[in-house]
């Protein structure tokens, strides 16, 4: 929370600026040294959309009700196992794939590679060889520490509600625990499992041979105390029948669970302290879910919660053989679905644990839901995971699809089950509903559906694939059998009928993804009392599976269900993944694209066009919001000469009128009411040409090309790589203190060993910004996400130089015909002389033509700012073939470009953001690079571009090929109070020629910085206020021009006209400044001045709108001379201002080092209300004015729109 002292200080600092004119004195301090102070000043301005009542309010759910979240908590018997990082290789219980991990190898095994089986405990006597299991030895706690066998500082039980799980001083055989008791009662033992009993071995009478020898019992006790575990070196025994065989029915039920005899009964023993260090899956899941419910009363993003498990009778077996039977081995047992769909049978599907949803409908939080909260926690703590040691009870299986289908019935919110009861049953008289999942009707407060279109989500926490599942309607089974929504090798087979497990016949593919797809894309409540679509999003968390090892079935389920798939192998990981899933639930996934997104950037590929669409997922927990930048294409039927619909063969041009947004498969793209891009007429997701967010996520953070800049004592900027190895130059700019570094260190899961030095702290910040998961278990891995949110920044395509004809007709905003005003293509209507061209070279090309030729094949990039502190440049294409070299003024020349792949070409962190980067790490989501970008080709006399050689010599006031540049001027909007400029003539961004930082305005720590507000400036799709003006010169080489009856020696100067920006308190932003676009030197300024008797005293409101620059002089259409003469801009008080720079600017004598034009004028052209300053009668203007000339009297007209926000 922002300190109230900061707000008071902000008010005081603002008062200092009231009524003060914009000073002209330049900064006297080193700009880089001033950055920390500059950032502190910026902190005094509101940067949170909440504080400034911004459009961030649109991020939350819109139904007026808390979102519904139902946890489906896997209560199959396998949840008693300890988590691993991948699914079990067989369906046997308990699984023990950690026995020999293919990657993790214990140090002792490294020295003894011939020991067999690896992972077991060797029959030796030394302590070192006790540490023999590679996977166990690789485990780390939440602080990145290995297991400690300390008896003075043991690991506490993870759940205070179940302190018997586990007693750190006791010893436990593997899976000899159940839902209510940590200490099992194995046959042949009695009392609590003391070490002598736990290591005693089997004393059963059914023919097993798993007893431990006396030496092994001693070894067991030694290694359990030392390493925390003991694994008998020959755990298989003789009790596992070959696949497909069936033991004689006379054997005891215990024998018919062959997998049990391989792992328990003394074969694998753990110390309670180790099990607290790395607890079984059921404890982890129960703890995380109950903690989540407990936190709802204090969280800022509450949801309504329900909990579902599998049916307690979900053994899912239909057997015809004699009892007792083993469903895993009996060929007379059918574990999977019946041949046709009879409706749900006893034991199918799920069980509703919670008594409805909590809290009640219309509740905005859990503050008055204490009773419901306690009841729900008690219900979760009472979940039964069955008893794997009770005689005659088969292991419980995993009916994922059936249970998810039941949840769909419940969340549909229809007490009559109209949709589900109407589904056809192909055999018998059953029904596809389950009584306990019939939702109550209003006014029952715990009903799931409180309002139309209420957001519904399922978080499925499971440790495996479907087993004994798939009794769902036949159309879902048919969909699965036809390939359905499960993508991957054998991804959908019911593991309990997989012949690789049982030797039986492989059944039809699993229906889980198809059920998820149905729930996500169908209106599940078709009753007449509801409006909109009642659908459900499904998220999947695989417990005991690493993110990289997620099985295809679960990934496909999340994709089909419109959700996310996560892997988790520990309690902290599961907590984080639940948090990630909830973040997706409570925030809308649609992005709020800037207004300029309607501008389609021409790609000149076969007459097609492209559009770049930002998207982002807000998060309440992740400081980096998940950003995307999609490229789609535009299909213009007239240009393409055909219809988008291939069945329409009519080629009459009059019929070719459609313009469509299409994906990479040339399918029309539409958006559904959830904000998803779909192929029109289907539920299939649209496939963009590329997504820069996904592409960046795949890029190792260490290989990114990121730059920043530092300034010297004269204020000149130098671009440098933003790398962890350059803490000498970058470190001091980050504004870190000992307190901040201590906070960073304490938040790191795996901090560097030894003293956490200042350099290490600086490197941690740099690593985080580059995209490393600094606070995660592997600080070298990529964090998720890598690309921050693109909120207000409009993507801008940087093209190669534009053809003269296209430029002259105004079809491209990157150029102005004044660049080649000397050329016949310029068609200047006045008689004003143009800046002359350099003598053509041997190629016969004039200067602009040579610039075009030198850069006609340069890479296209898309520039866009994101709230990760960076301006990003993404690859938007390179030429498909070598361009043809032109000679002289030819017709329209274009180059055929490919679409690119969206890879990040380079990124740039402006210097004023450097001290704010650490805020992203420690204070949550920040607004940083959130503004629009101006891109233009300009002429800069005497400044060579990337093609200039050592032989380049300036010919003053003459255009030379090396003097043309492509410049990007970038605003920060709510992220800062500065504009900065980059030379991006070379778009590659290679280290040999990086984007050159030219200037920052206002200069850090300058008086101007106290006057300018947040650099709001929404240009797109309009042309930017960058262009040429005329200045007077005393240099005899100047061009003599007669603009209004007086001849002047003049020079052409390319400028940018900057607006003062926005201030929440209207104490800043009441200024404008015209700068040299390349040097950043101020040429002309206007500012609010209470002491003025002229128009400056009326500049009482900030200028959030950009300036519209016009080539218009004296009401004569023939007065256009290629130089800007007029500027029009609106302010936040609804006033409209006009600036005239009709005469070549005369620069006054320098004051404090600055020489400003003194013969240009401005005035207020429109005032909304002269009587009062009441904001209700002064509607603000946030957007650039549109100008035109009225034909009958040749008067310049400006059209402006007022509104609440830019």
Q: Which has more confidence, 379 or 504?
A: 379
pLDDT value at 430 more than 90: no
For the stretch 279-312, pLDDT in tens is: 999 999 999 999 999 999 888 778 999 999 998 8
pLDDT value at 386 more than 50: yes
Average pLDDT, the chain: 81
What average pLDDT does range 916-934 have in this prediction?
Answer: 92
What average pLDDT does range 710-716 have in this prediction?
Answer: 88
Closest CA to 504 of 361, 635, 326: 326
Q: Which has more confidence, 625 or 47?
A: 625
If phi over 0 gives left and psi between -120 and 50 gives alpha, with beta otherwise, what is residue 548?
alpha
Q: Which has more confidence, 52 or 860?
A: 860
Report the pLDDT value the prediction gives residue 1206, as an integer from 0 to 100: 54
585-596 burial, b at 16+ Cβ within 10 Å, e below that, comes to bbbbbbbbbbeb
How distant, in Å, are the alpha carbons of 603, 806, 829 from that of 892?
14, 7, 22
Instruction: Give strand ranges (E) for 136-236.
Output: 171-173, 229-231
Report the pLDDT value the prediction gives residue 529, as an integer from 0 to 100: 66
What average pLDDT does range 542-563 have in this prediction?
Answer: 88
What pLDDT band is residue 9 in, cutting at 50, 70 and 90? very low
Structure tokens at 978: 């500065």
Rounded to whole angstroms, the Cα distance separating 772 from 177 reads 40
Q: Which helix (H) or strand (E) holds 1126?
A: strand 1126-1130
How distant, in Å, are the alpha carbons of 216, 681, 1203 from that of 685?
59, 11, 35
Beta-carbon-side half-sphere exposure of residue 946 (alpha carbons within 13 Å): 21
Q: Which has more confidence, 110 or 192?
A: 110
Beta-carbon-side half-sphere exposure of residue 155 (alpha carbons within 13 Å): 25
Rounded to whole angstroms, the Cα distance separating 101 from 122 reads 17
Report the pLDDT value the prediction gives residue 412, as an integer from 0 to 100: 92
Least confident of 263-272, 440-449, 649-658, 992-1001: 263-272
Report the pLDDT value the prediction gives residue 1033, as an integer from 0 to 100: 94
Report the pLDDT value the prediction gives residue 830, as an integer from 0 to 100: 60
Q: Which has more confidence, 1009 or 266?
A: 1009
How distant, in Å, are the alpha carbons of 449, 944, 947 from that of 65?
9, 61, 61
Rounded to whole angstroms, the Cα distance separating 1149 from 1197 reads 35
Q: Which fold has domain 69-75+286-326+347-360+395-586?
A: Rossmann fold (3.40.50)
Report the DSSP pairing between strands 456-462 and 68-73: parallel
pLDDT value at 93 more than 50: yes
Report the pLDDT value the prediction gives residue 409, as an integer from 0 to 100: 94
Which stretch, 393-402, 574-583, 825-834, has highest mean pLDDT? 574-583
What pLDDT band is residue 667 in, cutting at 50, 70 and 90? very high
Q: HEC profile for 518-569?
A: HHHHCCCCCCCCCCCCCCCEEEEEEECECHHHCCHHHHHHHHHCEEEEEEEC
Report the pLDDT value the prediction gives residue 98, as an integer from 0 to 100: 79
Least confident of 469-483, 497-511, 658-672, 990-1004: 497-511
Report the pLDDT value the prediction gives residue 890, as an integer from 0 to 100: 55
What average pLDDT does range 503-512 have in this prediction?
Answer: 64
What average pLDDT does range 476-485 have in this prediction?
Answer: 80
Structure tokens at 439: 């939702």
Report the pLDDT value the prediction gives residue 64, as an integer from 0 to 100: 63
pLDDT value at 1152 more than 90: no
Least confident of 582-591, 783-792, 1081-1090: 582-591
Rounded to whole angstroms, the Cα distance separating 495 from 501 reads 7
What average pLDDT does range 686-692 have in this prediction?
Answer: 94
DSSP 8-state assignment for residue 466: -
pLDDT value at 713 more than 90: no
pTM for this predicted structure: 0.69
pLDDT value at 887 more than 90: no
What average pLDDT does range 1119-1142 have in this prediction?
Answer: 91
Least confident of 409-418, 507-516, 840-849, 1070-1079: 840-849
Least confident of 848-852, 1025-1029, 1064-1068: 1064-1068
Report the pLDDT value the prediction gives residue 530, as an integer from 0 to 100: 66
Rounded to whole angstroms, the Cα distance separating 848 from 112 reads 73
Report the pLDDT value the prediction gives residue 186, as an integer from 0 to 100: 39
Q: How open is the CA angle 257-261-263, to the nearest 5 degrees? A: 120
Least confident of 21-25, 270-274, 428-432, 1157-1161: 21-25
If phi over 0 gives left and psi between -120 and 50 gives alpha, with beta otherwise, what is residue 1132?
alpha
Report the pLDDT value the prediction gives residue 85, as an integer from 0 to 100: 84
- CATH 3.40.50.410 range(s) for the chain read 69-75+286-326+347-360+395-586
For the stretch 26-44, pLDDT in tens is: 444 566 666 655 554 444 4
Cβ count near 57 (within 10 Å): 9
For the stretch 968-985, pLDDT in tens is: 999 999 899 999 999 999
pLDDT value at 245 more than 50: no
Report the pLDDT value the prediction gives residue 63, as an integer from 0 to 100: 53
């Amino acid at each position: 929370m922002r300190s109230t002292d900061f707000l008071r200080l902000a008010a005081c600092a603002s008062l200092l600026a009231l009524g003060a004119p914009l000073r002209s004195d330049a900064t006297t301090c080193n700009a880089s040294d001033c950055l920390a102070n500059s950032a502190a000043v910026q902190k005094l301005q509101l940067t949170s959309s909440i504080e400034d009542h911004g459009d961030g309010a649109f991020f939350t759910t819109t139904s007026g009700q808390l979102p519904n979240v139902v946890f489906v908590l896997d209560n199959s018997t396998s949840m008693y196992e300890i988590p691993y990082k991948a699914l079990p290789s067989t369906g046997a219980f308990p699984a023990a794939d950690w026995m020999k991990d293919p990657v993790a190898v214990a140090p002792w095994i490294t020295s003894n590679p011939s020991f067999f089986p690896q992972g077991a405990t060797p029959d030796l006597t030394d302590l070192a060889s006790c540490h023999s299991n590679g996977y166990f030895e690789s485990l780390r706690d939440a602080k990145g520490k290995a297991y400690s066998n300390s008896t003075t500082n043991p690991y506490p039980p993870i759940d205070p509600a179940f302190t018997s799980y586990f007693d750190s001083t006791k010893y436990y055989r593997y899976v000899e625990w159940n839902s209510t008791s940590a200490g099992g009662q194995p046959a042949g033992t009695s009392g609590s499992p003391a070490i002598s009993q736990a290591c005693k071995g089997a004393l059963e009478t059914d023919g097993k041979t798993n007893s431990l020898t006396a030496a092994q019992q001693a070894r067991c006790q030694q290694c359990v105390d030392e390493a925390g575990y003991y694994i008998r070196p020959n755990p298989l025994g003789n009790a596992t029948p070959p696949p497909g065989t069936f033991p004689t029915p006379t054997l005891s039920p215990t024998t018919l669970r062959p997998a049990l005899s391989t792992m328990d009964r003394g074969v694998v023993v753990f110390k309670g302290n180790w099990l607290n260090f790395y607890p079984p899956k059921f404890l982890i899941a129960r703890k995380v879910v109950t903690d989540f419910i407990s936190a709802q009363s204090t969280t800022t993003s509450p949801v309504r919660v329900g909990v579902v498990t599998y049916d307690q009778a979900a053994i899912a077996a239909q057997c015809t053989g004699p009892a007792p039977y083993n469903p895993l081995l009996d060929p007379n047992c059918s574990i999977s679905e019946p041949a046709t769909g009879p409706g749900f049978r006893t034991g199918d599907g799920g069980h509703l644990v919670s008594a409805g949803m909590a809290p009640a409908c219309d509740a905005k939080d859990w503050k008055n839901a204490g009773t419901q909260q306690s009841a729900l926690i008690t219900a979760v703590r009472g979940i039964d995971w069955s008893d794997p040691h009770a005689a005659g009870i088969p292991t419980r299986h995993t009916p994922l699809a059936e249970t998810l289908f039941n949840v769909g019935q419940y969340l549909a919110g229809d007490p009559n089950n109209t949709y589900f009861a109407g589904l056809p049953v192909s055999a018998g008289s059953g029904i596809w509903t389950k009584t306990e999942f019939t939702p109550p009707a209003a006014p029952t407060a715990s009903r799931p559906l409180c309002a139309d279109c209420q957001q519904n989500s399922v978080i499925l926490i499971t440790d495996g694939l479907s087993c004994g599942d798939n009794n769902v309607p036949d159309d879902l089974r048919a969909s699965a059998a036809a390939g359905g929504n499960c993508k991957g090798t054998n991804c959908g087979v019911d593991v309990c009928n997989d012949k690789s497990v049982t030797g039986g016949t492989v059944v039809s593919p699993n229906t889980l993804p198809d059920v998820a797809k149905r729930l996500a894309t169908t209106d599940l409540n078709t009753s007449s009392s509801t409006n909109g679509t009642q659908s459900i999003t499904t998220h999947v968390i695989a417990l005991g599976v690493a993110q990289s090892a997620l099985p295809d079935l679960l990934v496909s389920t999340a994709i089909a269900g419109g959700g996310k798939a996560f892997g988790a192998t520990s309690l902290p990981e599961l907590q984080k993944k639940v948090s990630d899933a909830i973040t997706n639930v409570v925030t809308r996934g649609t992005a709020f694209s800037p207004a300029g997104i309607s501008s389609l950037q021409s790609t000149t590929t076969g007459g097609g066009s492209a559009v770049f669409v930002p998207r982002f997922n807000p998060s309440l927990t992740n400081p980096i919001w998940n950003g995307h930048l999609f490229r789609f294409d535009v299909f213009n039927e007239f240009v393409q000469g055909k219809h988008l619909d291939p069945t329409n063969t009519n080629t009459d041009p009059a019929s070719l009128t459609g313009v469509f947004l299409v994906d990479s498969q040339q399918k029309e793209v539409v958006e559904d009411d959830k904000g998803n891009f779909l192929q029109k007429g289907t539920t299939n997701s649209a496939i963009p040409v590329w997504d820069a967010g996904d592409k960046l996520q795949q890029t190792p953070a260490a290989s990114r090309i990121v730059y920043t800049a530092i300034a010297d004592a004269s204020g000149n900027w130098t671009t440098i790589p933003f790398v962890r190895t350059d803490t000498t130059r970058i470190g001091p700019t980050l504004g870190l203190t000992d307190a901040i570094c201590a906070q960073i260190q304490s938040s790191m899961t795996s901090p560097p060993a030894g003293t956490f030095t200042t350099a290490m702290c600086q490197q941690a910040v740099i690593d985080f910004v580059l995209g490393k998961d600094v606070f995660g278990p592997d600080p070298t891995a990529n964090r998720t996400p890598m690309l921050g949110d693109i909120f207000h920044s409009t993507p801008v395509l940087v093209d190669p130089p534009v053809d003269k004809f296209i430029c002259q007709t105004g079809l491209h905003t990157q150029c102005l015909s004044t660049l080649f005003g000397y050329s016949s293509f310029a068609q200047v209507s006045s008689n004003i002389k143009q800046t002359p061209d350099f003598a053509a070279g041997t190629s016969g090309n004039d200067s602009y033509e040579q610039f075009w030729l030198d850069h006609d094949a340069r890479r296209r990039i898309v520039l866009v700012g994101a709230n990760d502190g960076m301006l990003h440049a993404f690859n938007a294409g390179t030429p498909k073939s070598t361009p043809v070299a032109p000679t002289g003024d030819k017709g329209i020349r274009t180059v055929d470009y490919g679409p690119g792949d969206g890879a990040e070409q380079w990124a740039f962190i402006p210097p004023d953001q450097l001290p704010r980067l650490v805020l992203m790490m420690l204070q949550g989501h920040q607004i940083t690079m959130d503004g629009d970008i101006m891109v233009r080709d300009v002429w800069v006399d005497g400044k060579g571009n990337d093609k200039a050689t050592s032989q380049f010599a300036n010919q003053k006031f003459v255009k030379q090929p090396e003097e043309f540049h492509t410049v990007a001027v970038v605003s920060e909007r709510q992220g800062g109070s500065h504009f900065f400029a980059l030379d991006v003539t070379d778009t590659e961004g290679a280290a040999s020629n990086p984007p050159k930082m030219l200037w920052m305005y206002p200069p850090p720590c300058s008086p101007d910085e106290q006057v300018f507000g947040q650099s709001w400036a929404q240009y797109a799709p309009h042309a930017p206020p960058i262009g040429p003006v005329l200045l007077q010169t005393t240099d005899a080489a100047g061009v003599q021009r007669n603009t209004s009856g007086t001849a002047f020696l003049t020079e052409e100067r390319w400028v940018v006209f900057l607006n003062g920006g926005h201030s929440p308190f209207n104490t800043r932003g009441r200024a404008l400044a015209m700068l040299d676009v390349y040097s950043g030197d101020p040429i002309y300024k206007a500012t609010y001045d209470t002491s003025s008797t002229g128009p400056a005293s009326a500049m009482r409101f900030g200028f959030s709108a950009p300036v519209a620059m016009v080539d218009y002089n004296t009401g004569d259409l023939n007065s256009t001379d290629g130089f800007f003469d007029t500027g029009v801009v609106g302010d936040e008080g609804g006033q409209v201002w006009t600036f005239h720079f009709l005469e070549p600017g005369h620069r006054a004598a320098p004051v404090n080092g600055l020489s400003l034009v003194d013969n240009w004028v401005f005035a207020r052209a429109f005032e909304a209300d002269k009587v009062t300053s009441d904001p209700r009668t002064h509607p603000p203007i946030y957007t650039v004015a549109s100008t035109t000339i009225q034909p009958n009297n040749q008067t310049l007209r400006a059209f402006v729109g007022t509104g609440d926000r830019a």
